[in-house]
Amino acid sequence: MQKTLIALSLIAATATAAFAADDPIAVRKALMQSNGAAAGLAAGMMKKEIDYSPAAGKAAIAALHATAESFGEFFPEGSDMGADTKASAAIWENPEGWQAELDQFKAAAAAATEASGRAGPADLAAFQGAVGPILGTCKSCHEKFQTR
Ligand code: HEC
Give the closest residue to 60 by CA, choosing from 83, 79, 37.
Answer: 37
In this prediction, residues 29-50 reach a mean pLDDT of 97
Q: Is the pLDDT of residue 18 over 60?
A: no
- Per-residue pLDDT band for 148 (boundaries 50, 70, 90) equals confident
| Contact 76 CB / ligand 1 (< 6 Å) | no
Please tell me the predicted confidence (pLDDT) of residue 100.
Answer: 98
Distance CA 127, CA 4 (A): 53
Domains for the chain: give ranges and CATH numbers.
Answer: 25-76+85-145 (1.20.120.10)
What residues contact 6, with CB distance under 8 A and at least 6 apart? none
Q: How many CB atoms lie within 10 A of CB 117?
A: 13
Phi and psi at residue 22, to the nearest 5°: -85, 0
Distance CA 110, CA 66 (A): 10
Please tell me the predicted confidence (pLDDT) of residue 15.
Answer: 46
Q: Is the pLDDT of residue 1 over 50?
A: no
Q: How many CB atoms lie within 10 A of CB 137?
A: 20
- Residues 59 and 41 sit within 8 Å (Cβ to Cβ): yes
- Per-residue pLDDT band for 69 (boundaries 50, 70, 90) equals very high
| Contact 30 CB / ligand 1 (< 6 Å) | no
Q: Is the pLDDT of residue 124 over 90?
A: yes
Phi and psi at residue 57, to the nearest 5°: -60, -45
Report if pTM > 0.85: yes
| Contact 25 CB / ligand 1 (< 6 Å) | yes
Q: Which of 25, 28, 31, 35 to mutate to test the pocket of ligand 1 (most atoms within 8 A of CB)?
A: 35
Q: Is the pLDDT of residue 64 over 70?
A: yes
